[in-house]
Amino acid sequence: MAQEELEIEISPAGKVTVTTKGIKGPVCMEYADLVVRILGREEHREKTAEFYETAETVERNVNVKQRR
């Protein structure tokens, strides 16, 4: 199984770009939704080719810690 990753880039101007890698099927949108909740906004969303691939049944655990 490929490793699942979220690639997060923040430009000097503050624009945030998030790309999912190795996350097949619509479950990638759940990760995108999580990032939107953390950031509090969304400007644009595109589906990757992996969105259209068959997802494996995998138990996922996501831990998020917010620091200020």
| Cβ–Cβ under 8 Å, residues 17 and 45 | no
Diameter over CA atoms, the chain: 38
pLDDT of residue 2: 62
Q: What's the pLDDT tens digit per position in 22-31?
A: 888 888 888 8
Highest mean pLDDT among 1-15, 19-33, 48-62: 19-33
